[in-house]
Amino acid sequence: MTKLNLIRPLAFIDLETTGLNTQQDRIVDICVTKIYPDGKEESLSSFINPTILISVEATNIHGITNADVEGKPVFGEFSSQLFDFIDGCDLAGFGIIKFDFPVLESEFKRAGIVFSKDGRQIVDVQNIYHKLEPRDLSAAHLRYCGKVLENAHRAQSDVKATIDVLESQLEHHTNLPHDIFGLNEFCNPKDPTWIDEDGKFAWFKDEAIVNFGTHKSKTLQSICRDKPDYLQWIISKDFSPKVKQIAEDALRGKFPIRQA
């Protein structure tokens, strides 16, 4: 990197994971490229066996399946090598502050290794992008309507601007649906493996699994057998009627059946 002044190595990190929960989800793919002040580069990368199922949503994004990571090292086996590789480095990544670093922190903690920001500088390229090229309503109005939004952050102006931006988006992007149902699907795509609208339960190889929380990736039948109190907890909390019904049915021995 000829345009960046480095006083010590800078490690660029990217992770692919089983999901988006930085505390509970696990790494399935990691790459770190370390750039030294003299311009030399070194890379370390590996598939990681997460020891839990990869969510269908995650596989749809990164394309990594449970079969791909079968037999690969678990993070605990890889952790010492990784820790030594980035020791003494500042860190960089795209979205690293909100995602990659917290995931790494959780993984190292499970491996019994203390890993922290102390003494490190962190450069988040996504934050730089968002600061230099805002993605707010004013920016959308300028791009799609060709003029500066007057009186931004006043309700009446923002509503009018939102209407104008949508109208212009429909004109500019011919692939956008022109009906409300289609736009809803575009904005809120439902994973075909979800059993309920919120994706709390999902299909995995035609078997219903829990798709969130402490028991994520466990089959509904095993939860009903080993942790029925967890289903009672779901029933007592603020979940959708569909989710509660699935939990109630499971406690009665009735499990979802995937239609062909």
Complete DSSP assignment for 160-190:
HHHHHHHHHHHHH-TTS-SSHHHHHHHHSPP
pLDDT of residue 1: 66
Q: Which residues of the chain register pLDDT less than 70?
A: 1-2, 260
Q: What is the pLDDT of residues 106-161, one digit of tens each?
A: 999 999 999 999 999 999 999 999 999 999 999 999 999 999 999 998 999 999 99
pLDDT of residue 213: 86
- In the chain, CATH 3.30.420.10 covers 10-129
In this structure, the number of other CB atoms found within 10 A of the CB of residue 157 comes to 15
List Cα–Cα distances, 69 to 28, 78, 175, 242, in angstroms. 7, 14, 36, 33
In this structure, the number of other CB atoms found within 10 A of the CB of residue 246 comes to 25
Tokens of 248: 């109630």
d(CA 22, CA 200): 17
Which CATH architecture best describes the domain 10-129? 2-Layer Sandwich (3.30)
pLDDT of residue 57: 85
Confidence (pTM)? 0.72
pLDDT of residue 198: 86
d(CA 190, CA 39): 45
Q: Residues 255, 246: contact at Cβ < 8 Å?
A: no
